[in-house]
Amino acid sequence: MESMILNPLPTRAEVMDVANAVLDGSDAVMLSAETASGKYPSETVISMAKVCEGAEKVPSINVSRHRLDVKFQNIEEAIAMSSMYAANHLKGITAIITMTESGRTALMTSRITSGLPIFALSKHKKL
């Protein structure tokens, strides 16, 4: 969004860079000079937010060959992966909820990346 230091609209390349960052699984995007010293700080934030929100609406089911080629170590891992695969292919699923003692269940489930958030619930407060 560098061009928005002096212009009220981003370039197509900047929009695609931000969208691709989101589609690639980035947890955050950052602005700097655009909002610190730019002429259009509010417009910049609004533009970036719109691009991020638009990209987050794109269904994304990315499974790397490496992750799928790894053999399951135990039945729990097979169940976690099967649950995530099913959730990615059923209509109306908006999130995955896993119950966990150690946090490992959520990690196993996340081997398949998805546009769905994964919530790990535990009776242990330190998780």
Whether 122 and 100 have beta carbons less than 8 Å apart is answered as yes
Q: Is the pLDDT of residue 114 over 90?
A: no
Q: 68 vs 127, which has greater pLDDT? A: 127
What is the predicted pLDDT for the residue at 74? 83
pTM for the model stands at 0.55
Q: What is the pLDDT of residues 22-55, one digit of tens each?
A: 887 787 899 999 988 999 999 999 999 999 999 8
Q: 13 vs 59, which has greater pLDDT? A: 13
What is the predicted pLDDT for the residue at 60? 63
Enter the tokens of residue 18. Answer: 């931000």
Q: What is the pLDDT of residues 59-109, one digit of tens each?
A: 665 555 555 566 777 888 888 888 888 888 888 998 999 888 888 888 888
SS (H, E, C) the chain: CHHHHCCCCCCHHHHHHHHHHHHCCCCCCCCCHHHHCCCCHHHHHHHHHHHHHHHHCCCCEECCHHHHHCCCCCHHHHHHHHHHHHHHHCCCCCCEEEECCCCHHHHHHCCCEECCCEEEECCCCCC
Q: Where are the domains of the chain?
A: 2-56, 61-121
What is the predicted pLDDT for the residue at 106? 85
